[in-house]
Structure 1
């Protein structure tokens, strides 16, 4: 009887407790799991979050309390593991769990402890790389250094730098025979052991050219290496870029044939496919310096198997029409040097200037990294008239030399936009009345432009140009050889070549001197859109004491796939009665 009463009492008690337990579990299930930590930030915090498994459940209904405790304890070990790549091997981590009806919170307190530092770097290089000058340069830049905090990424980056150097310089058999990172916990010190057996450096072997429509001897002029030279991937990359940029080929593939390498030499394969031989261009356009225009162009990308090219263009516009034919002969290094013979006709009728120019030129152009120099000899005849004056004809044999230097850093977000850089150029030309010329003169023009980024959004742009001419008979100088100011690339707010000395009829006839300057600031208001404020000043004259004209304006820039498109409006300060003038230009900042 007593046993039966006891059993009934247990059943009754279990029945009373069961609903309460179910309610508790329901309340627990409704609680949200929250996870937090203190003691680290930045990249340390980022790595902790990538390792900490309990974060996968954060913000979700909490798991059972037993599961939460298990994950919390495991998280302590995960945090320690996440901090070791940064040299923290003495980290202490404690976790605390608290709960309410609304949430279950797990908080970690992280004490980083003493950071491990590099006490020794044992870097041993065996083979040909040991005496390579490039290795000595690399040793100065490897990130693992005695006394520096231990970073596993620096250790791995050091190994990658050695591998890349060996691959770049032709140590094809290179490999690590020892790579060990020794941690001394009691001393909070790390010792780096690296032994790299590079083997001997390979040399260039035979070069095979497949599917080439030009002569092999011509293609070989692009090579900056010879058979037997030490291998360097930069030579192959430069060759690929040069061939791809030549416009002769649609596709270019340059590759070392390591599987065929023998006796420390590696053959090279060049595979190309021809581009379309003829290229036609037809298109309308508009420029505020030229008005509406129509362009017709024809290029023959190669005339013969020696790489000669032919380029021709006819551009008809409201203000100035131009036609030219250019025959181009590649130089000894076709990627950098070329000769050209050009015939052109320029007919201009604008602002009371009526001019027709016939010119034939022979040009020698060379590139030296950022430098370019051009020697040219041209013979020109120009028939011209200012206003109602009688029509005149002048003839000149003009030798000239031009030098330019460009240095620029492109915006990584838009390769058509200059982040910072500058351009300077100088042009010297002249003629003698004793040598097929109507008058004697010598002329020098200097120009420069700079772009500087103040912040990610703000840029400052400035440009300047000065020119001077010495002559014994200015009246005989052709308009194309005189100095004018005004226009899209000169003093905005004035029409093209609107500024300069005038004759008795008030027609601008150009001057012996030129001075132009501009300052501009632009701001990135949206992706691929900038707004600008600017001021231009300048003039041309017969003396340096000429008065300067100044304008101010604002503009919009669209960073298009083909380069910046600029729309500016400008007003002359000295002539406020004149309307604002619109200017539209397309092209690079430098």
Structure 2
């Protein structure tokens, strides 16, 4: 080869090398760019599904893949987007993309046209077997999300099938299955044809109950059962039984379940496994409240006295304001989850703000629960020695029948069952006595009270509270402090001490009144996941006449949303008594 040929060859080699080097440098530079993926044409649920289907989004904001890898993923992304739209009925979508290179960013942009939406053309849902005559199924059929002429959405189709399966499992159609579950999509018609045939079989009934480790009488435990052998099966009955037994406090663990592998002749036996709780429970608890001061609580419970489920509860509470001891003997009713009777003995000794009182009280109660309602009938006999200030002690005795009705309705926080999002509580109590039946004087007293919590926004809540009381009597001087109306304190008019508001005698001692009125309004704001701040105003007083002067206070507080309920620290001051110092209030417990 001549020298000139070598020169030409060398020149061509250098040019090619320079070209390849430039191309390689550009490739390296492209690899160093950041990938940005974007799309347009869909939003909402469609966009969320595209996000979950589009593989290329895994590289978004990261170094750009190699060119051949990028082109492959970008093309495959068109198919992925089309598949993401199909579950919403879009079978005729059009997707295109372009790759745009810049100095620091490589952008992949998709243009999406969902196209026409496929509708449900024909819909056949057929039930075979006993379930077709079940009235609950007839109601359920009206709730199916599928209907002719509506968009064909895969999630609605699956939800319809799950609704049938859940109903069958809940109501004892153990052999239920789909004979046909077909969907045919006609692209040319833009229509989906659905054919579902569900064979429910026969509905099972409750069989024998196999119970283990019950330390109480079988007759007593049988009163918790809301079903019997031969009745149609329903899982709700088993769940209610488990909740009732677990809440009775007789058992440490409760397991209630159907034994499907032993089912025969369309009957399924039920297994109930119980572990006894500790029979005796002791509690010692120090505490502090701004109404009571320092306090100590000693408690003893015998969770069952005999095999009929009778219980004994006793508490001794010692505080700076009053000392209380009571014993409560509880007898379950015919339905232990709703009914109970109790016999109570109580002694209360109080010395506070120049008021001295010693109360001896015994009572019998009949308590019934009706879902959200509770009703209590009580017959109590009490004797109370009392005096206000330096006057001589007075002794009064009363036989007092009473009736109380309460309604509670609430929506609890999903993460803490002791926190209320929305709800209210209202109650009314009527009691009285006659001087012709073991009473020193006649009286009738009515108390109405209510609380409400309303969530205004994710952070704001409004809380309201009210209490109204009235009494008529032939001799008010014989009415002891425990039956009179007082206002002031943590749960009344904040800014005043416990029972500081009411009529006064010549010594300036608050003696309580015949009438009571308390109103409270509060706004609180969530400043952190477990903390709220509050602004509030309270108005109220007690008096001998309804025309009594009302006292108003203003205050602010902090709430810690603890696992046992809100812990409230409030500071309040009287509006119409500016010279009165601010008062601190500390309370713990649910809003209702």
State the TM-score bracket (shorter-chain normalisation): over 0.9
Partner-residue secondary structure (3-state), 1:339: strand
- Aligned-residue offset at 1:385: 0.6
Q: Tell me: CA distance 1:509–1:113, structure 2 relative to 1, closer, same or farther (3 Å).
A: same
- Aligned-residue offset at 1:218: 0.9
- Partner Cα distance (1:553, 1:56) in 2: 53
Corresponding position of 2:354 = 352
Equivalent residues of 1:209, 1:216 under 8 A apart: no
Partner-residue secondary structure (3-state), 2:496: coil
- Partner Cα distance (2:575, 2:335) in 1: 51
Partner-residue secondary structure (3-state), 1:273: strand
Matched, 1:55 2:60: no
Q: Tell me: CA distance 1:25–1:538, structure 2 relative to 1, closer, same or farther (3 Å).
A: closer
Q: Deviations over 1:502-533 (max 9, x none)?
A: 22222111111111111111111111111111
Corresponding position of 1:262 = 264
Corresponding position of 1:31 = 33
Corresponding position of 1:275 = 277
Q: Tell me: CA distance 1:58–1:526, structure 2 relative to 1, closer, same or farther (3 Å).
A: closer
- Partner Cα distance (1:160, 1:330) in 2: 41
| Counterpart among 368, 385, 388 of residue 387 in structure 2 | 385
- Partner Cα distance (2:380, 2:60) in 1: 78
Matched, 1:420 2:422: yes
| Counterpart among 402, 405, 427 of residue 404 in structure 2 | 402
Matched, 1:542 2:541: no
- Aligned-residue offset at 1:494: 1.1
> What pairs up with 1:358-507 in 2 under 5 angstroms?
358-507=360-509
- Partner Cα distance (2:536, 2:63) in 1: 60
Moved more, 43-52 or 215-224: 43-52
Equivalent residues of 1:171, 1:199 under 8 A apart: yes
Q: Tell me: CA distance 1:8–1:265, structure 2 relative to 1, closer, same or farther (3 Å).
A: same
- Partner Cα distance (2:65, 2:572) in 1: 69
Corresponding position of 1:127 = 129
Corresponding position of 1:167 = 169
| Counterpart among 207, 223, 237 of residue 221 in structure 1 | 223
Partner-residue secondary structure (3-state), 1:187: coil
Q: 4+ residue runs of structure 1 moved beyond 6 angstroms?
A: none
Corresponding position of 1:207 = 209
- Aligned-residue offset at 1:296: 0.6
Corresponding position of 2:586 = 584
- Partner Cα distance (2:271, 2:482) in 1: 50
- Aligned-residue offset at 1:440: 0.9
> What pairs up with 1:9-28 in 2 under 5 angstroms?
11-28=13-30
| Counterpart among 238, 241, 245 of residue 240 in structure 2 | 238
Question: What is the TM-score normalised by the length of structure 2?
Answer: 0.97
Matched pairs, number: 590
- Aligned-residue offset at 1:9: 6.2
Corresponding position of 2:105 = 103
- Unaligned stretches of 5+ residues in structure 2: none
Q: Tell me: CA distance 1:63–1:459, structure 2 relative to 1, closer, same or farther (3 Å).
A: closer
- Partner Cα distance (2:502, 2:286) in 1: 31
- Aligned-residue offset at 1:88: 0.8
Partner-residue secondary structure (3-state), 2:584: strand
- Partner Cα distance (2:561, 2:421) in 1: 13
- Aligned-residue offset at 1:194: 1.1
- Aligned-residue offset at 1:11: 4.3
Corresponding position of 1:182 = 184
- Aligned-residue offset at 1:205: 0.7
- Aligned-residue offset at 1:448: 0.9
Corresponding position of 2:158 = 156
Moved more, 326-335 or 20-29: 20-29
Partner-residue secondary structure (3-state), 1:500: coil
- Aligned-residue offset at 1:301: 0.6
- Unaligned stretches of 5+ residues in structure 1: none
Q: Deviations over 1:199-220 (max 9, x none)?
A: 1111111111101111111111
- Partner Cα distance (1:570, 1:72) in 2: 66
- Partner Cα distance (1:101, 1:473) in 2: 97
Corresponding position of 1:138 = 140
Corresponding position of 2:288 = 286
Q: Tell me: CA distance 1:196–1:470, structure 2 relative to 1, closer, same or farther (3 Å).
A: same
- Aligned-residue offset at 1:4: 6.6
- Aligned-residue offset at 1:58: 3.1
- Aligned-residue offset at 1:111: 0.6
- Aligned-residue offset at 1:326: 0.5
Partner-residue secondary structure (3-state), 1:72: helix
- Aligned-residue offset at 1:543: 1.3
Q: Deviations over 1:375-432 (max 9, x none)?
A: 1100000000111111010000001110000000012243221100111101011111
- Partner Cα distance (2:497, 2:103) in 1: 78
Partner-residue secondary structure (3-state), 1:448: strand
Q: Tell me: CA distance 1:532–1:32, structure 2 relative to 1, closer, same or farther (3 Å).
A: closer
> What pairs up with 1:509-548 in 2 under 5 angstroms?
509-548=511-550
- Partner Cα distance (2:18, 2:375) in 1: 100
- Partner Cα distance (1:105, 1:556) in 2: 51
- Aligned-residue offset at 1:16: 4.3
- Aligned-residue offset at 1:103: 3.2
- Aligned-residue offset at 1:61: 3.2
Corresponding position of 1:553 = 555
- Partner Cα distance (1:301, 1:187) in 2: 70
- Partner Cα distance (1:19, 1:541) in 2: 100
Corresponding position of 2:83 = 81
